[in-house]
A and B are shown apart, each in its own frame.
Chain A
Amino acid sequence: MKKKILVVDDDQDFKAAISILLEAKGYEIHQASSGAEGFSKARLEKPDLILLDVMMTHRTEGFDIAQKLHTEETTKDIPVIMVTGISKETQVFFKYEPDEVWLPVKEVLEKPVKPEALIKAVEKHVR
C-alpha cells in the first residue's frame, strides 16, 4: 500500500511542486492550505507523515498546529516535518531544535528545500 503524506502549505505552487515530486517517488499525497484544514485532514486521513509550513494565516500557525497534533490522541503518533522560510524571514539564524513539548516535530527544513534533502527526510521519518 502507498504511504500517505499530507502537505500543509498556503503557497499553491510550493505545494504543487512538492506533491508532484513526492508522487513521483511513489507516495500518495493529500493537500491542505491552512492549519485548520491540515489538522482536520490529519485526523480524517491519518497520513504516515505531515509536511508543515510555519507561516500561513498567522506567523506561528505551523508551531501551533504541530502542538495541537501532538496533544490530540488520534494524531499524536504521526511524524511531522516542518518546512519553513521563517528564519530568513525573521533573520533569526538559530536552528530550530525539535523538542517533545515545544516543537514536537521530527525535523525542520529550510525553504527553498532541495529535492534530495526533502526525499531523504521523508524516507527517514515516514511511518
Chain B
Amino acid sequence: MRRALSLILAGLALAASPAAAAEPKPTLPPFSWAYQPVGVDERGLWMEADDLEREFRDSRLLVRDEALNSYIHGVLCRAVGEDRCKGVRLYIIRDPSFNASMAANGMMQINTGLLLRLHSEAELAAAIAHEFGHFELRHTLEAFKRRRRSTDALMWAGITGGRNGANLQLAIIGSFFRFKREEEIAADIRSFEYLAASTYRAAASPAIWERMMAEYEASAAARKLKFRNARRPSFVDSHPTDMQRMVYLKALAAEHGDGGEDGVDGYAKALAAWRPQFLADAIKLNDFGGSEYILAELARSGWTKELLAARGDLYRLRGNPRDLTVAAQAYRDAIAQGATDPAIHRDLGMVLLRSGARADAATALQRYLALRPDAADKTMVALLIDQAGATSGAAVMHAESGAPAVSPGSPANAPPEPASGGSAVAGARALAPANDGSTK
C-alpha cells in the first residue's frame, strides 16, 4: 500500500509541478537580440547567472586579451551565424583543465585548457557551438526543472516509500543523470548541424574526443594506473563517454561528408602568443603523461621553439637524472631555433648544474643575467654561478690544506650548496616525488 502510494506521489511530482503549469511559455529563442527571460524559473536563473557573470567580469583569472577574445567570438559567429552570436559574452578563464560551459543568460566560459588542446578553428567552432547549443535549447532551464521534479519525487519516495523507497530513489537519480546525458548528446548534434551549415569542416569534431581518450590513457600510463576509456557511461555520469561521443560524431560525419575548412594555420596563429603560457599552466598540473601527450600532438607538424621549451620544463620538473638530459637538449634545441625568453638560459643552467656539467651551467646562467640584468632572482642566480665556478677552486684548496685528494668530478668533492642556490634546486626537486612512481 505504502509503495503504491509513493509510486503515485512520485509519478504526480514527475508529471507536473503546479509552478510549471502556471509558467508562461517563452516564444522567442534566448539568443534573440535584447531577449528578456520569461516566467519565474527562467527569470530566476538569469538573475543568478547575471550575478555570477559580474564575478567573472571582475575575476583576475580572465584572459582579457582583446585580440584573442574577438578571434574566438568571430569563430563562434562563423559557426552559429551572425544573427545568433551577437549577444554572447565570452569569458576566457585561465584554467588548464579541458572544459567550457554556457550559462542560462548567454555567458560563455572557455578554459585555456580547452584552447590548448584544440588544433584547428573547426574544432574550436565545434566545441563552442556545442555550448551555444545548450544555450539555444535552454538546457540550463530544462535541467533545473528536471532536477526539481526529481528531487520532489525523491522526497516523496523518501517519506512514503517504505522499504522500497531507496530503490525508487535510485531509479529517480538514474533517470536524472540519463536526462543530463541526453542534453549533452542533443548539444553535440546541434553543434554538428551548425558546423555542417557553416564553412567549417563538421567532420573535425570526433578528433577532439579521440585525442582526449588518448590523453587520459597516456596520463594514467605515466602514473602506472590501470585505465580504459569507458564504452558506456556510469550510472551518475552527466556526459556520454568520450568514446560514445566520438562514435556518434563519426557516424554523423560519415553521413555528411568531409568537406569544409579546418583553419589549422589561423588557429595556430591566433594562439601563438598565448600557447607558451597555456602550456606552462598545463605542465604545473604535474600530469607528466598528459602533458607529454599534448606536446607530442601539437608537435605533429614539427617541434617549434615554444614546444621544445615547454618540453624542457616538463622534464626538468620531473627531474630524474635522465630527464635532466632530455630537458637540457630540449632547451638547447629551442635556443638553436631562436627562443628569445631569457629564462630559458636560466632553466638550462639549472638543469646542467644538477647534471654536474658545471662549466656549461655557469655559462648558461651568465647568459641569463646578461640578457636580463635586473632579474628579480639575479642574486640567487649569481650565487649559483659562483657555486658552479667554484668546483676547481675548491679542489685546489683541499689539496693545499692536505685534505685527501679527490678528483673534482667525484660526488664526495662536491662543495656544499649555498643556502639560496640549494633551495632553488630543491624547489625543482620538490615537484618530482609525485612522479617518482613512473621510474620504479
Are A and B co-members of a single complex?
Answer: no
Could you list which residues of chain B lie within 8 angstroms of chain A, going by C-beta atoms? none
Could you list which residues of chain A lie within 8 angstroms of chain B, going by C-beta atoms? none
